Structure 1
Amino acid sequence: MTKRKKMREPREFLALLESARRDEVGGSAPRKHHLVPASYLRRWAEDGKIRVTHIDRKKSHLSPPEKAARETDYYRLESPDIDREAVPPLLFEKMLGEIEGVSVGIVDVLTRQGPEALSLAQRAEFSFFLALQVTRGHSFRVANRLMVRDYFQLKYEGVTTDGVHRMLTEAGMPSTAKDVEAAYAQLQEIVNGDVFFEPQDPSIVAQSGSMAAAMGEHLFARNWYTFETKPILVTCDEPVIMIGGPPRSRKERAGVSTAGAIIFPLGPSALLAMFLPHVRPRGPMQLDRVETAEINREIVASTSRWAFEKPSRHITEKMPVPAPAPPFMREGPYPVEGDENRLIFRTFQPTRWANTVPPPWPVERWWS
């Protein structure tokens, strides 16, 4: 994305740092952080309320957008390994606020005029905003933790006492029989899942920002379309939804670079759909009631916890979707052709359709 406008000039970034430091010292910043921007959820509000449904509990309530989908200190960058002066704990939350503020006007343009009305700078800014919606949520965090745990379990699976002795010796550590026995017992606890390594939340928060920059480039390069829908469109706490499309499996979550379509509800009556460069959707730029219902099913099925809609609607309460699958799975090992000493593993994120007969891909005309 070579033409993407830099989000901030150095002087502006320094001002952001200073603002985060002041809020931390003064204690004026809220500790409740939004997983989804309140400014975005307001598009579904009626009389200042939206409907919030916990999908797997099938419990629903009305809430002001400002109080929906929040967690305490969710983006806080605080750790003994982080210099609070160099990286204020509230920096990421401050950055999100700035990016969300820019996105409000861009959503208005997309809804009323379509992607063609965006400047390259606006398209770049919104690509980054969308990528952050992918990496800021629960799905990204849980999968990240499990992948790190799995890496260490896999690394030490099948380790022998001879192997432990060799590792200790190469590391210059004591390697008596007692040392080897103790180290071997510790590694077995890791393999069995009794002890595990996982990244700290501040590390995941920082990684979410760096990964969003790369994801944004893929989103920027896609074909963007705005579809008008019936005024029944819902959204969720993972509002950027990957739709693999044929011939991909319905049971595995597609990635930002591989999904045939990536959708983002702009409001109750508008949907942004971003297709791979070679995919050109057929038909009108309006979705009928059946197509909108199919999209709603995809949105609800992509939910980590909460789905949102107009308070006068009950779609998210009544939409049947399977229970969530494990957030991360590994297959293998598989032999590497030409190298009998090497093995490879395949990892992926299952969808809610992993353990059931999945429905057809939504909006059939997109794929024909």
Structure 2
Amino acid sequence: MKLSRFILSHMDEILGEWESFARSLSIPGILLPVAELQDHARQMLQAIAVDMETIESDQQKKEKSIAEVSRISGEESAAATHGSLRQISGFTMPQVTAEFRAMRASVLRLWMDKSTRASKANTEEILRFNEAIDQALQQSAIRFSDQSNRTRDTFLAILGHDLRSPLATMTMAGAFLVRPTIDQANTVQIGARVARSAATMTTMVNDLLEYARSQLGGAIPIRPVLADIVDICRTALEDASAAHPDCVFQLETDGESIGDYDSARLAQVFSNLLNNAAQYKGEKHPVTISASGNADATIVQVKNYGPEIPRALLAAIFDPLVQLSVATDQKGPASTSLGLGLFIAREITRSHGGTIDVESSTESGTIFTVRLPRAAIHGIAK
């Protein structure tokens, strides 16, 4: 059987091996759905089979082998889209190239197992297949790189934009404070604005530092000691209130609250969740943070009744540099828009041996749930 026809007739078997390999490459602790693991693989294989069936002259073969990168990168193909989506999903470039290497090996191995003998035609089929795989890989790699550059540029643009606003507020405050005629009431008002701007900038800088740490050294280090989760929640609520003075926050507690926690780190987790909730909140309901515990674990939930988050976005919401669109009718001020807050929250939670999940619906609102063991992961007594 010709290799191109074999690919089409054994598509499910090939995709099964592709999925298994992609799952071994995916981000630890994140279970990607089958549809995402097999992302565009079927379309890529179909395109490869069609390419192999296309009759080419010697001149066309030569031109194809030396095609410029600019021409290949401009092609809209399943492979190009695959590269872009893999970058968004958190895969690395070596992982993407490894996927194509695995696809090449799987197809050839399965085909040769069913091939009765070697021939010149088989050799030509392999050459055409390798050529098509290499072109798909190049398209995917180029689009992956383009997406990475676009994400970086967007990140830098947002950083500059979001820092400019609080800095402008503080600059104007300084100009008012040096006036000899300023009264006490205006001083208090200006001081409150400076405090809010400082809180916003502090959140952004902390997120940047933790993101850099996670990229350089893996898990975020923690120093757990006996602490009260309720006190940690109150600290986070105070920080969020300073950044969002117009948002109503509520704290609810129940059950055991003492455990082995890194208070500063967890305050950052809950502060990031509260800032996110305040940014996307609805107008009729407060943002709530609730803490409940038993002998083994503590559960902290942050809830708001803003717009429902689409299911497609929930899978990537904790990835770095992912940003949700704010509805035009929302009144809440934007906190840090860097797309790092939820990523940092996940990494700190993992360092505590815990988990963080999100669910969203119009009826129940958006709920972030943090589950933490009350005993430190390195064995400190409760």
What is the TM-score with the length of structure 2 in the denominator?
A: 0.24
Report 1 or 2 for greater relative contact order, CA contacts < 8 Å, sequence distance ≥ 6.
1
What is the TM-score with the length of structure 1 in the denominator?
A: 0.25
Q: Higher helix share goes to which structure?
A: 2
- Between structure 1 and structure 2, the one with the greater Rg is 2
Q: Higher strand share goes to which structure?
A: 1
